Chain A
Amino acid sequence: MDWLTICADGATTPCVAPVQAAYLVGVGVLALLLVVAGRRSRDFATATLSLMAVAIAINIALGSVTALLRLPLYLDSVGTVLVGALAGPWAGALTGLLSDLVWSLLPIPGGAGPTTAFFAPVAAAVGLIAGFWASRGVFGLRSGDDRIGGFLALALGFAAAVVALLVAQATVGVGPAADSDSQVRFAVTGLVIVAIGVVVAWLGRRTIFARVGDDPRMRLYLIGATAISAAAVVFAVIRLLFAPSAYFSTATFVLANDAGDPTIIDLRGLALPDPLGLVVALVVAVAVAALAVAWARRGEHARFFPVWVAGATTGVVAALIAAPIAAGVFGGVTGGGTDLLVALFRTLGLGVFGSVLAQGLTSDPLDKTITFTVVFVILTALPITVRTMFSRGALTVDA
C-alpha cells in the first residue's frame, strides 16, 4: 500500500518517485499503443486519415479557446470523440495521441511547449472509450431501443456510487493519508463504493429497467433520469462555485491586457453564506429539473441521456489516468483554469495527488459530457454523404 502515500507526508523527492514510475509505465503503454495504432493505420481508409487531420485541428482550435478563457474545463477532445464515433476506437485513440503531440509543436495557447504532450495517454484513452461507446450505439439510440435499459441501469449505479462516496466522505472520511491504517481504509472504502455501484446497476438492469422493446415506460424513465441528473449537476456546480468555502470564496483574478497593465477582478463577494446559498441552489435545481422535463418531452430529446452517461463515464476514466500525470509531472498545477480548483481542494485538506484527483473527478465528467453532447449535435447535422464515407458512420449514427 506504499504507493498511496504519494506526497502526502510532505517529503519532496522520494515521494514523487512512485508516480514517476507509474508515468514511465504509462509511457511504455503509450508506445505500445502507438505501435498498435500504427499497424492498424494500414487498415485506415484515406477518408479516415484526412478526417483525423481535421479532427486534430478542431481539438486544438477549441482547446486553445478554452485555455485562453481560463475555464476549469478542457474541451479539447471534440475531434477525438468524433473520430472514435465515425471511424472506430483505434482511429480515435490515434487522433487523441497525435492531437496532444502536434499541439505541443505549435505556438498556440494551451500547448505551452511540452505541457499537453504529457497528457497524450489521457487523450488516447478518451478516443478508445469514445469508440467503444459509439459501437454500443450511444449516438444512434431511439427512446424505444432495447439498449436504453442498460444505460439507465449504468446511470443508476453511477449515482449510487456517488451517493456512497458522499456518505463515506461525511462519515469515515476518504483520501489517502500517511499512516498505513487509513490507507487500508481508503482502499477498502474505494472498493466498497465501486461494489455498491456495480450491484445497484446490476439489480436495476434485472428489475426496473428489464423491459424490452417499445415499452412506453422507458420513455418516461428517460425523461425522469434527464430531469434528475440535470438537477443534480446544476446543484453540485452551484455548490462548488458559490458555497462558503468553494471556488469563488478564493477567486481573485489578475488579467493582463495587451497594453500590459493588470486588472484585478475580485469575485469573493459571490460566495453566498450558507442557509441562503443552500436555498438558492435547491430552488435553481428544481427549476432546472422542471425545464429539463419540458425539454425532454419534446420529440426525441430524451435520447441525449445515454450520450451523457457515456460522456460522464469517459470523464471518470480520463480523470483517473490524468491525475498521476498531473501530480507527478507538474506537481499538481498545470497553468490552466483548473488550477483554482486544485488550490481549492488543497485548502480543504487534500494532498498533492488527492487534490488533483478531486479536481479531475470534478472537471472531467462535466467536460466530457459537454464534449459528447457537442459531438452528437455535430453528427446529427453532418450530411449523410460525408457521414457514410467512414467505416462506422452508417452504423453508429442514427440522425
Chain B
Amino acid sequence: MTRAATGYLVPGRSWLHRRHPLTKLLGVAFVLVAAFLLPPVALIALTVALAAIAVSAGLVRPVLRSLRIPAVLVASIVLVNALFYPGGSDVLVAVGPLAVTREGLTFGVVSAGRLLVVFVALMLLLMTTLADDLLEGLVVHGVSHRIAFVALSAMQLVPRMRDRVDRILAAQSARGLAVDGSTITRARALVPLIGPVVLSALVDVRERTLALEARGFGARWGRTAYRVVPDSGLDRALRIALLAAIALVALTALFGWLR
C-alpha cells in the first residue's frame, strides 16, 4: 500500500555512494558557501568539479534528468531579471514595451547559475544517500535522536498522507461528492477532503505516541542502532579538508567586504 520513502536515491556502489553521509553533507555546504560568496567566475570551476564527480559516480543521466525540477524556477529568474531589472540601461533586444538589458541578463544568469550549482550538489548527495543513513550519521555525531525521528517520520508520512487522500477521496465520492469536472467543482471538493485528512492524521498522533512510549522511545540510556553507517579514515580526512575549505572561503569573502 505505502511506497517506501526513498526520495531521489539511485541505488549503486560508486565511490560517492560509499562516502559517509556527513562528508557529503559538508561537501554540499562547501559548494553553497563557495557559490554564493566567491565571485561568479568560481561558478565555472564548481560546475567542472561537479560534472567530474557526476561522471565518476556514473550519475550523469539521473542528474541531467533531475534538472527538470528547477527548470521553471531558473527560467523565471533569468526572464524576470532580464526584462524587469531595475536600473538596467544597456538594451540588447527590445520587443514592444519589453527590453532585455545586459545588466538584467547578467544578474539573472549569475543568480540562476548559483542556484543550479547548489541544486546539482544537493542532488548528488540525495541520489547517493538514503535519508535513513543521513540522519543516522547525524545522530552518531551528536544530533538528538528525537529530532532525527521527527524528520524521518515526516518523510515516511508524506507518501502515507497521499494514500490517505486517495482513500478519503474514494470514500467521499462513494457518498456522492463530485470530484471531477470544472476547476470550481474540484476546488469545492477540497473542503470535505482536507477536513477528514487533517483531522484523522492528528487523531493518529495519539496512536503513534502510545506505540512509541510502549517501545521505550522516552528512555534516556542504552540506545543501539539498527543501521550502522560505515565511516573510514578517508572520510574523516575529507571532512577536515572540507571544513578548512569552508572557513577559507568565508574568511576570503569577509576580508573582501571589509576592504
Contact of B8 among A8, A20, A107, A178 (CB under 8 A): A107
The reply to whether B80 and A342 contact each other, CB–CB distance below 8 Å, is: yes
Q: Does B202 contact A (CB under 8 A)?
A: yes
Which interface residue of A20, A58, A62, A343 has the most chain B CB atoms within 10 A? A58
Q: Does B235 contact A (CB under 8 A)?
A: no
Q: Which of B162-220 contact A (CB under 8 A)?
A: 162, 165, 194-195, 197-199, 201-206, 208-209, 212-213, 217-218
Q: Which of A42-96 contact B (CB under 8 A)?
A: 42, 44, 46-47, 49-54, 56-58, 60-62, 78, 94
Number of A-B contacts (CB under 8 A): 199
The reply to whether B257 and A21 contact each other, CB–CB distance below 8 Å, is: yes
The reply to whether A113 and B123 contact each other, CB–CB distance below 8 Å, is: yes
Min CB–CB distance A328 → chain B (angstroms) = 8
Q: Which of B130-176 contact A (CB under 8 A)?
A: 131, 143-144, 146-147, 149-151, 153-155, 157-158, 160-162, 165
B interface residues, tally (CB under 8 Å): 76
Contact of B86 among A8, A56, A334, A339 (CB under 8 A): A8
Bound state CA distance, A21 and B72, in angstroms? Answer: 27
Min CB–CB distance A287 → chain B (angstroms) = 20
Of the stretches A10-18, A119-127, A202-210, A266-274, the one at the interface is A10-18
Contact of A102 among B81, B106, B155, B206 (CB under 8 A): B155
Chain B residues lying within 8 Å of A106, measured Cβ to Cβ, are 5, 7, 155, 158
Which partner residue on chain B sits nearest A101 by CB separation? B151
Grouping DSSP codes into helix (H, G, I), strand (E, B) and loop, the A interface class, with mixed when no group exceeds half, is helix
Contact of B150 among A42, A56, A329, A331 (CB under 8 A): A56
Q: Does A330 contact B (CB under 8 A)?
A: yes
The reply to whether A331 and B81 contact each other, CB–CB distance below 8 Å, is: yes
The reply to whether B146 and A41 contact each other, CB–CB distance below 8 Å, is: yes
Of the stretches A151-159, A296-304, A381-389, the one at the interface is A381-389
The reply to whether A386 and B72 contact each other, CB–CB distance below 8 Å, is: no
Q: Does A347 contact B (CB under 8 A)?
A: yes
Given contacts A8-B86, A114-B122, A346-B86, contact A47 B205 (CB under 8 A): yes
Q: Does A333 contact B (CB under 8 A)?
A: yes
Chain B residues lying within 8 Å of A349, measured Cβ to Cβ, are 86
The reply to whether B205 and A104 contact each other, CB–CB distance below 8 Å, is: no
Which partner residue on chain B sits nearest A14 by CB separation? B257
The reply to whether B76 and A58 contact each other, CB–CB distance below 8 Å, is: no
Bound state CA distance, A115 and B122, in angstroms? Answer: 11
Given contacts A12-B107, A20-B37, A98-B150, contact A38 B87 (CB under 8 A): no
The reply to whether B147 and A331 contact each other, CB–CB distance below 8 Å, is: no
Against B, the Cβ 8 Å flags (1 = close, 0 = not) of A329-365 are 1111111000100110011011110010000000000
The reply to whether A50 and B208 contact each other, CB–CB distance below 8 Å, is: yes
Bound state CA distance, A94 and B118, in angstroms? Answer: 24
Chain A residues lying within 8 Å of B39, measured Cβ to Cβ, are 13
Of the stretches B44-52, B108-116, B224-232, the one at the interface is B108-116
Which partner residue on chain B sits nearest A70 by CB separation? B72
Which partner residue on chain B sits nearest A349 by CB separation? B86
Min CB–CB distance B155 → chain A (angstroms) = 6
- Chain A contact-residue range equals 35 or more
The reply to whether B151 and A12 contact each other, CB–CB distance below 8 Å, is: no
The reply to whether A107 and B203 contact each other, CB–CB distance below 8 Å, is: no
The reply to whether A331 and B107 contact each other, CB–CB distance below 8 Å, is: yes
Which interface residue of B69, B89, B106 has the most chain A CB atoms within 10 A? B69
Which partner residue on chain A sits nearest B190 by CB separation? A65
Q: Does A215 contact B (CB under 8 A)?
A: no
Which partner residue on chain A sits nearest B78 by CB separation? A333
Chain A residues lying within 8 Å of B26, measured Cβ to Cβ, are none
Bound state CA distance, A381 and B72, in angstroms? Answer: 38
Which partner residue on chain B sits nearest A350 by CB separation? B86
The reply to whether B86 and A46 contact each other, CB–CB distance below 8 Å, is: no
Bound state CA distance, A334 and B85, in angstroms? Answer: 15
The reply to whether A107 and B69 contact each other, CB–CB distance below 8 Å, is: yes
Which partner residue on chain B sits nearest A95 by CB separation? B150
Which partner residue on chain B sits nearest A50 by CB separation? B208
Q: Does A246 contact B (CB under 8 A)?
A: no
Which partner residue on chain A sits nearest B199 by CB separation? A381
Min CB–CB distance A379 → chain B (angstroms) = 10
Chain B residues lying within 8 Å of A346, measured Cβ to Cβ, are 80, 84-86
Q: Does A168 contact B (CB under 8 A)?
A: no
Which partner residue on chain A sits nearest B250 by CB separation? A24
Q: Does B11 contact A (CB under 8 A)?
A: no
Q: Does A105 contact B (CB under 8 A)?
A: yes
Min CB–CB distance B239 → chain A (angstroms) = 18
Bound state CA distance, A291 and B185, in angstroms? Answer: 23
Provide a sorted-by-A list of 9 A–B residue pairs whose CB atoms are within 8 angstroms: A13-B40, A47-B205, A57-B157, A60-B154, A113-B122, A331-B108, A331-B111, A333-B73, A346-B84
